[in-house]
Structure 1
Amino acid sequence: MPINLSKGQKVDLTKGNPGLKNIMVGLGWDVNAFDSGAAFDLDAAAFLLSDSGKCPTEKEFVFYGNLEHASESVKHMGDNLTGEGDGDDEQIQIDLSKIPSNIQRVAFTVTIYDSEVRRQNFGQVSNAFIRIVDETTNVELIRYDLGEDFSIETAIVVGELYRNNGEWKFNAIGSGFQGGLAALCGHYGIDVA
């Protein structure tokens, strides 16, 4: 049985699962039944953060334009342009043993591509979730359903992995931003041209 988290809840990941190394972070969502005249393209990303809460360089930003971190610790499995169908819409593979020692947290985000032009926001999205699966056993360890807390936001920090006394934990964050990917990049210290 996965642990179902609520917003703000923190849970041990490696302490209760000794030897856990390879995990898959799955993110999914549905678009509400209405026609905005444009397809919804939601994008998952991972920001690898140092003690400062910022990315040391832009290479610590893993997304559809940079699918794999140089350490091979974080690998984005590719962009899903429609979000149609059941299950995960996008997946990010994590090798906990390869995350560089200067990285203290890995934040997972979802943004709406071209949201301003398409006039879209997370108020039009439902059933958003993040789940963490042990890739060795294919067992779902953690699930966090975001609920319908959003209206005008175009970016969400869904949750994050973080180091704590030599173990990895997960924090269900669920906080929204306006300004899409650019706002998130600014928040995490990445200069967007």
Structure 2
Amino acid sequence: MVVSLSKGQKVDLTKTNPGLTKVKVGLGWDTNKYDGTEGFDLDSSVFLLNDGGKVSDPSDFIFYNNTTGGNGSVVHSGDNLTGEGAGDDETVSITLNSVPEGVQRIAFTVTIHDAEARGQNFGMVSNSFIRIVNEDTNEELIRYDLGEDFSIETALVVGELYRHNGEWKFNAVGSGYQGGLAALCNDFGLQVG
């Protein structure tokens, strides 16, 4: 049975699914019609965070140019340049029991590539979601539909997996940022230009 979440809700993942070790996190979106000539290119990224909420090393930032992190426990599917079609646009596979002990939170984000130059923002995006699937059975366990709460934001923290008393839980964050990927990187302890 799928657990559908609202913004800010938290739910157990491994406690309610004993034996769960491999999950696939799917992220998806559609773009609304707009007057610009440039296509939309949304990118998902993953930040492996320590207990201070920061990456410990630049390799803890996983995206289309660095698709594997956490000693191989987190693998990004790569860049989907258009987001067209139904279903997941980009996915991340995670072997939960192999995530390094120092990683307390795994944050899932989506940004709009070159948003400022293209005049694009999340007010032009609809049907955004994150879902967690049992990779062994392909059963959808958790789904969070973000709704249409955004306007001028160019980056989103969609949700996060986090450790709690030896178990993994999921938090439906749904938090928007201006400043795109650079703002997210700075918040998570990566210095970018």
Q: TM-score, normalised by structure 1?
A: 0.99
**Runs in 1 of length 4+ with deviation above 3 angstroms?**
none
Partner AA of 1:12 in structure 2: D
Q: Which residue of 1 aligns with 2:130?
A: 130
Q: Paired residues, what number?
A: 193
- Give matches, 1:15-26, under 5 Å: 15-26=15-26
> Partners in 1 of 2:68 and 2:102 — Cα distance?
17
SS in 1 for 2:111: strand
Q: Which residue of 1 aligns with 2:158?
A: 158
- Give matches, 1:77-92, under 5 Å: 77-92=77-92
Q: Which residue of 1 aligns with 2:110?
A: 110
Q: Which residue of 2 aligns with 1:68?
A: 68
SS in 1 for 2:54: coil
Deviation at 1:35, TM superposition (A): 3.1
Q: Which runs of 5 or more residues in structure 2 are unaligned?
A: none
Q: Which residue of 1 aligns with 2:168?
A: 168
Deviation at 1:70, TM superposition (A): 5.0
Percent identity over the alignment? 65
- Give matches, 1:20-59, under 5 Å: 20-59=20-59
Partner AA of 1:10 in structure 2: K
> Partners in 2 of 1:176 and 1:82 — Cα distance?
21
CA contact (8 A) 2:110 2:158 kept: yes
Partner AA of 1:155 in structure 2: A
Deviation at 1:163, TM superposition (A): 0.2
CA displacement 1:79-100 (0-9 Å, x = unmatched): 0000000000000111101100
- Note closer, same or farther for the CA distance 1:96–1:70 as it changes in structure 2 (3 Å cut): closer
Q: TM-score, normalised by structure 2?
A: 0.99
